[in-house]
Each structure stands twice: as structure tokens, then as C-alpha cells.
Chain A
Amino acid sequence: MRLPLNELRWLKRAALDSNRPLEHLIQRRLNREPLQYIIGTQPFGALDNIRVRPPVLIPRPETEEWVIQLAEYLCSSDWSASRRISLLDLGTGSGCIPLLLCHLCPNIVANGIDISPHAVQLANENAKLCGIPYSRFKASLCDFVHPGFPKAETINSPYDILTSNPPYITSDEYLQLSDDVAKFEDPTALIGGCDGLEFYRVIAGLIARDGFLSPKAVVALEVGHSQAAAVCDILSPTGFKTSIWMDSWGKKRTIIAQRQ
């Protein structure tokens, strides 16, 4: 593996900033460890330093893009006039999605839930690093696939906004992934069942429940590169009207669902 010059430069700076020997960092990178885990942070929109730590999913540029777009969409809609907007992020990971939205929209109050204790711990650390107080963001350990969900006391429905970047890689695709993803990131944050769509079915069920979302709620879901149509189909029985956002790389990346 040949290290791109940019990566070398970033590693040099990280070595200098953290007083670690550069050779160790380079060796880790040559062992295919993701650059972001070695450096320990990843910028996400206006948040310059989201902390990242194995095995919690590293924020992707596609996600950064639609979250910024969602913030702009919310600011231009009737929502911007509301005093308080409540948000739930399913499978919050590092917390990047709700934290950037909290940062960009001052009237958002958010909950993030995740099945991984590593993720919950990291998301709460990130809130502190980003200066988002506990009164505005809280991550909790919770399994939204569990039939008992959302009875848990951590949930304050109805929510005005539901976001999620759920695991969407199929089991077959997972075996084809390159080492820097497969060997280091949590498979439970990546694999969405045999067809990669398992979690969208669960989310569709949640959306359809009475009182889970407010009447004017907005749902934003990241999807895999070829899943947009299938996810829209899964959501259609809920009565929510769906639209698709493209990413800069020409992929149908985000489903936006709202009540008709």
C-alpha cells in the first residue's frame, strides 16, 4: 500500500499534536487501520473535531452532506419558527448527525440511541466536545429493534424529526468490503440483514405507530447506493410521502418522508 501524500501530511500533524512517534502511526495505517481512528477525530460539517474510536462507525462524507442539507431544509421550513424541535436519531454511533443538527439549528433538542455501549459513551463525549449541553443532547443505550421499544423511559415521543443512518450493507456485500472497513468498524453498525433492508422495515413500523411522531414530522434516512426505491416502497404503507435526495457523487442517498 502506498500512502497518499495528504494522508502522510495529516499523520505528521497528528503525530506532532499528540506527541506520538510518526512511524507508529504510519505502520498502523499500512496495516489498513482507518486514518480517522489513528488520528482520533474526523471533521463533520461545522464540527471540526468529532471524536472517533474503534469500533464505532466513522462519519462518512455522504452523511455530512445530507445532514447539512437537512439543516438548511429545516431552517427554510415552518419548523424554524418553532420554539423547540425534538429529534430522535436511531443508531446514533458517534452522535455526528444529531450533534451537527443541534449545532446548526439552535431550537433542536435531541436524543440519540444505540445498541452499542461504545457508541453511547462516544456520542456523549462528543456532545461535550462540541459544546452541546446535556439539556439539548443525550445518548442512551437502547435497542430500537426490540418489540418493547419505544416503551423505555429514555424516549420522549412524539418527535418532530427522526433521523437515521441505519446499517444497510447486505450480508453478501459485507464479505466483499475492504479491510479498513470490515476489520475495524463494528459489523452491527454496517450489516442490514440479507437484503440490507431489515432496519428500514423496523423504522417503517415505528413511524406508523400512533403518537411516535408529531403530525408535521420529518423523517430523514440514509440509504445504500441502490436501495432508494426499495426503501420508498417499505415506507409507502405508513402514508408518509417520500422524496429522494441525491449525493454529490450521483447516488440516491437520502429518503425524506413527511405526512401527506
Chain B
Amino acid sequence: MASPEDIERLRQLKESEPLQDAWDHWTSTLKVLEDIKLLLDDPDPAMKALALEEAAELDQKLSTILNHTFPSLLVPPSTTANLSALVELKSGVGGTESSLFLETLLRMYTRFSQSHSWKANVVVSNENEGGGIKDAIIEIKGSNSYDTLRWESGVHRVQRVPATESGGRVHTSTVAVIVLPLIEEQDAQKEALYSMDDIKLEVMRARGAGGQHVNKTESAVRLTHIPTGITVSMQDERSQHQNKRRAFQVLSARLMDRKITREIAERRARKNSLIKSADRSEKIRTYNYAQERVTDHRIGLSIMNLSSVIEGNALQDFTDALKQDFEETTMEDMLESESQ
């Protein structure tokens, strides 16, 4: 019979499995290297060459374990791993060109979600009169979607000759992306992100009598969270109830985002380390059509095949690299606070 303590121990054991695996891998590789070392002075030159080659290989393996595997085990497990994501896109400078690029990014994230078997649903999408989409919100449901996409937040810049430009000049336009942690309605209540007393709810001003007298199709709702001043307007759904539900979902995501950001800042402040800029007005990535190149400025990574990012799977290369960068930064923070 398993007691609750047993289950707790089982869980600990399970959680420490990666540590044990890494240690086993380290000791067994080291053992092989020790054995090989004996052959380095072998009188047979062929044998000696073989041993040298293998020793170099093992050496490489050991340094990988030392430099990558061990440190990554020190990174605490993500507390946001189970969260879904709400991705907000807003067109920036560049007018219609920016809106057209926003539509491209929207497709990119939708496609990326499908390849991860996440459920993507465009909940808000405001078309631009000249073409493209002025602003949009996509709900991306699936575990790890927030952790994977969170580093997409920031300003995305496009450099290309717009279809409408007759002079063939390259324009630079921008789209701002904000990735928010999406939590389920019941979890939002558990997190106690807001109190209903702090919410001001407004509906679109009625014209006239209302009720049976008119048939309104617009049922816009605006929420204001008084303590933070956050406002959310929602009008894309067909009923007031649905618009209200969506508005509360966005509000919860924004408040949850603030909470996570605050926690990170507090942790870093406690450790007395420098806070790495998480400025969302920062240009994070450039999509250069003429050079078929996408560059992420934070990590200096360029992918020389633009369409593979926008239409293929190369966005994964960016998200992987950014995740690794985040883990390394977390490690550095830990080490810095150790040495103080």
C-alpha cells in the first residue's frame, strides 16, 4: 500500500531522475576516458592514433555535459509551463504596409500553432480599410504555448518594397507583438488577480429605447481595472455576454502578465543583479525581404531563408534559441548571486 508520504517520495524520485541520468552519463563517460588513457602510450601507432581520436571525442562529450547539461539542470522548472497564450498584435509605423505585415505575422503564428497541435483562434481582428489587419488578438491554447511564444513580445520590423510602391523604394514598417499568459476562468479566480469591486464595466452608449424597440448588432463592452488603469474593449463577439467574457479573459491575461513580470523583477532585485531590459518597445526582430533574411537582434541570430520562418518551421529555431538564452541568463543570475 502506498501512503501519501510514499507518493511524495515517488514524485521527488521522478523529479530527480534527470539529475541521476546526467550524473550517470558523466561518470560512465569519464570511466571510458580513463580506460582509453591507458592506450595513449600504446606502442602500436595505429592503436595510439585510434585512442587519441576517441579521447578527443570523449573530451568533447564531457565538456558538453559540463557546459550545457549540468547548468540546464540548475534552471528551476518553469512555473508557467501549463499556460496557454494570448498574442496581441498591433500595427505600428508604416500605415497599410504595417497592417499587411501584421496579417502575415498572424498567419505565421497560426501555422506555428498548428504544427505544435495547439488550438489557435483569432478572437479579435480589425481590418484596415486599405488592406491587411490593423490589430488582432489570437488565443493559442495548449500546454507550453506561453513558454514557447513569450519571447515573441516586442517590435517586429519589416523591410521591403511595398506592393503599392511604384518607385521601388524599400520601406520600413513595424508591428508590435505582446504575448500574454492565458489562464482559465476558474484559475483566474484562484489567482485572485482582481476584485470585482475594482472593475468598472461600461457598455456602448445606447441610442434610444433599447429592448424590443431596436435590433442592435453591436454589443461592445469596456472594462476598466481601476487600480492599474488597464482598459479592455471588446466588440468582436455577437453578444454582450460573450464580449464581456472575452474582455475578462484579456484583462486576466494582462494582470497575470504583470504579476509574472513583477515576480521576475523582485527575484532579480533580491539577488541584487542587473535587470535585463524587457522593454516591449524594443525592436527585437527584422524581416528583410530583399535579403531573404530574418534577424533576431537580442541574440544576434539570423536565418537566411525568410519564407522558411514565415511559411515554414524556422520560427522554431528562434523560439528554441531564445528559450536557451533565457535559461542561460537565469543561470548567470544564479551564479552571480552565489558569488556575492
Residues in chain A near residue B215, CB distance under 8 A:
34, 36, 58, 60, 178, 180-181, 185
A43 to B206 CA separation, bound complex (whole angstroms): 20
- On whether the beta carbons of A5 and B127 are closer than 8 Å, the reply is yes
A48 to B246 CA separation, bound complex (whole angstroms): 14
Given known A6-B218, A35-B217, contact A64–B211 (CB-CB < 8 A): no
A227 to B9 CA separation, bound complex (whole angstroms): 68
Total B residues in contact with A, Cβ cutoff 8 Å: 26
Residues in chain B near residue A165, CB distance under 8 A:
212
B241 to chain A, nearest CB (A): 5
Q: Is B237 an interface residue (CB 8 A)?
A: yes
Q: Is B40 an interface residue (CB 8 A)?
A: no
Residues in chain B near residue A168, CB distance under 8 A:
211-212
- On whether the beta carbons of A61 and B212 are closer than 8 Å, the reply is no
Q: Is B169 an interface residue (CB 8 A)?
A: no
Interface residues of B in 213-230 (CB under 8 A from A): 213-219
- On whether the beta carbons of B241 and A249 are closer than 8 Å, the reply is no
A-contact bits for B196-222, CB 8 A (1 contact / 0 none): 000001010110011111111111000
Residues in chain A near residue B239, CB distance under 8 A:
42-45, 61, 64
Interface residues of B in 270-306 (CB under 8 A from A): none
- On whether the beta carbons of A62 and B235 are closer than 8 Å, the reply is no
B-contact bits for A173-193, CB 8 A (1 contact / 0 none): 100011011000100011000
A64 to B242 CA separation, bound complex (whole angstroms): 11
A177 to B237 CA separation, bound complex (whole angstroms): 25
- On whether the beta carbons of B212 and A43 are closer than 8 Å, the reply is no
A166 to B222 CA separation, bound complex (whole angstroms): 30
Q: Is A7 an interface residue (CB 8 A)?
A: yes
- On whether the beta carbons of A167 and B212 are closer than 8 Å, the reply is yes
A79 to chain B, nearest CB (A): 22
Given known A5-B126, A6-B218, A248-B201, contact A60–B238 (CB-CB < 8 A): no
Residues in chain A near residue B249, CB distance under 8 A:
none
Q: Is A25 an interface residue (CB 8 A)?
A: no
Q: Return the chain A residue nearest B245 by Cβ.
A: A46
B91 to chain A, nearest CB (A): 15
Q: Is B104 an interface residue (CB 8 A)?
A: no
B185 to chain A, nearest CB (A): 12
Q: Which of A42, A48, A68, A251 contacts B211 (CB 8 A)?
A: A251
- On whether the beta carbons of A169 and B212 are closer than 8 Å, the reply is yes
Q: Return the chain A residue nearest B202 by Cβ.
A: A248
Q: Is B240 an interface residue (CB 8 A)?
A: yes
A128 to chain B, nearest CB (A): 21
- On whether the beta carbons of A249 and B210 are closer than 8 Å, the reply is yes
Residues in chain B near residue A46, CB distance under 8 A:
241
Q: Return the chain B residue nearest A41 by Cβ.
A: B238
A38 to chain B, nearest CB (A): 11
Residues in chain A near residue B209, CB distance under 8 A:
173, 224-226, 251
A180 to B240 CA separation, bound complex (whole angstroms): 20
Q: B residues within 8 Å of A by Cβ?
A: 125-127, 201, 203, 205-206, 209-219, 235-242
Pairs A–B under 8 Å by Cβ, sample size 7? A6-B217, A10-B238, A181-B212, A185-B215, A225-B210, A247-B210, A248-B240
Q: A5-B126, A61-B216, A64-B239 are in contact. List 17 more A-B contacts (CB 8 A).
A: A6-B235, A9-B127, A35-B217, A42-B238, A43-B239, A43-B242, A57-B212, A60-B216, A64-B241, A65-B241, A169-B213, A178-B214, A190-B212, A224-B212, A248-B240, A253-B210, A253-B211
